[in-house]
Amino acid sequence: MSNAIENPVNASLLSDLDRQHVFHPFTALGSHERDGAPIVMTHAEGVMMHDSQGRDYIDAMAGLWCVNVGYGREEIANAMRDQAMELSYCHAFSSMASDKPAILAGRLIEMAPVPMSKVFFGNSGSDANDTQAKLVWYYNNVRGKPAKKKIIARQRGYHGVTVMSAGMTGLPGLHAGFDLPLSFIKHTMAPHRLWEGHGLSDAEFVAKLVDDLEQLIAREGADTIGAMIMEPVMGAGGVIVPPQGYYEAIQSVLDRHDILLIADEVICGFGRLGSMFGCQAMGMKPDLITVAKGLTSAYFPLSACMVSDKVWQVLVAGGDRFGAFGHGYTYSSHPVGAAAALASLDLLEKENLVEQAGRRGEHLHRRLQAAFADHPLVGEIRGFGLIGAIELVADRDAPKAFDPALKVAPRIVSAARDRGIISRALPASDSLAFSPPFVITEAQIDRVVEGVREAVDEVAAELKASGDW
Ligand code: PMP
Summarised one tens digit per residue, pLDDT across range 293-326 is 999 999 999 999 999 999 999 999 987 788 899 9
List pLDDT tens digits, range 207-257.
999 999 999 999 999 999 999 999 999 999 999 999 999 999 999 999 999
Q: How far is the CA of 229 from the centre of ligand 1 (A)?
A: 13
Does pLDDT of 5 surpass 60? no
List pLDDT tens digits, range 168-198.
999 999 999 999 999 999 999 999 999 999 9
Report the atom number in ligand 1 closest to the C-alpha of 162.
Answer: 16
Integer angstrom CA distances of residue 323 from 132, 317, 318, 319, 415: 19, 13, 10, 8, 56
What integer pLDDT is reported at residue 16 of this predicted model?
A: 83
Which ipTM value was assigned to this complex? Answer: 0.99
Report the atom number in ligand 1 closest to the C-alpha of 268.
Answer: 3
User: If you average pLDDT over residues 258-274, what whole number do you get?
Assistant: 98
Does pLDDT of 34 surpass 90? no
What integer pLDDT is reported at residue 2 of this predicted model?
A: 40
Does pLDDT of 57 surpass 70? yes
101-105, 322-326, 373-377: least confident range: 322-326
235 lines ligand 1 (CB under 6 A): yes
Residue 236 DSSP one-character state:
T
Query: Please, which residues bridge with residue 289 across strands?
Result: 263, 306
CB 422 within 8 A of CB 56: no
CB 409 within 8 A of CB 392: yes
Q: How far is the CA of 159 from the centre of ligand 1 (A)?
A: 5
264 lines ligand 1 (CB under 6 A): yes
Q: How far is the CA of 125 from the centre of ligand 1 (A)?
A: 4
Does pLDDT of 11 surpass 80? no
- DSSP code per residue over 416-432: HHHTTEE-EEETTTTEE
C-alpha neighbours within 13 Å on the C-beta side of residue 265 = 34
Domains for the chain: give ranges and CATH numbers: 39-69+353-465 (3.90.1150.10), 74-350 (3.40.640.10)
What integer pLDDT is reported at residue 9 of this predicted model?
A: 58
Distance spanning both ends of the chain, measured CA to CA = 52
What integer pLDDT is reported at residue 1 of this predicted model?
A: 37
Please state, for a pLDDT cut of 90, what percent of the chain lies above it: 90
- DSSP code per residue over 301-367: --EEEEE-HHHHHHHHHTTTTTSS-----TTTT-HHHHHHHHHHHHHHHHTTHHHHHHHHHHHHHHH
What integer pLDDT is reported at residue 17 of this predicted model?
A: 86
Mean pLDDT, the chain, whole residue set: 95
Three-class secondary structure of residue 176 per DSSP: coil
What integer pLDDT is reported at residue 36 of this predicted model?
A: 85
Q: How far is the CA of 264 from the centre of ligand 1 (A)?
A: 9
CB 119 within 8 A of CB 341: no
User: If you average pLDDT over residues 129-135, what whole number do you get?
Assistant: 98
Pocket test for ligand 1, best of 127, 266, 291 (most atoms within 8 A of CB): 266
Q: Distance (Å, rounded) from C-alpha 266 to C-alpha 288?
A: 12
Does pLDDT of 427 surpass 90? no
Does pLDDT of 140 surpass 50? yes
User: If you average pLDDT over residues 341-347, what whole number do you get?
Assistant: 98
Q: How far is the CA of 7 from the centre of ligand 1 (A)?
A: 34
Query: Please, which residues bridge with residue 389 across strands?
Result: 382, 433
Integer angstrom CA distances of residue 230 from 119, 154, 264, 282, 454: 19, 7, 6, 11, 35
What integer pLDDT is reported at residue 113 of this predicted model?
A: 96
When pLDDT is cut at 50, 70 and 90, the band that residue 396 belongs to is very high
272 lines ligand 1 (CB under 6 A): no
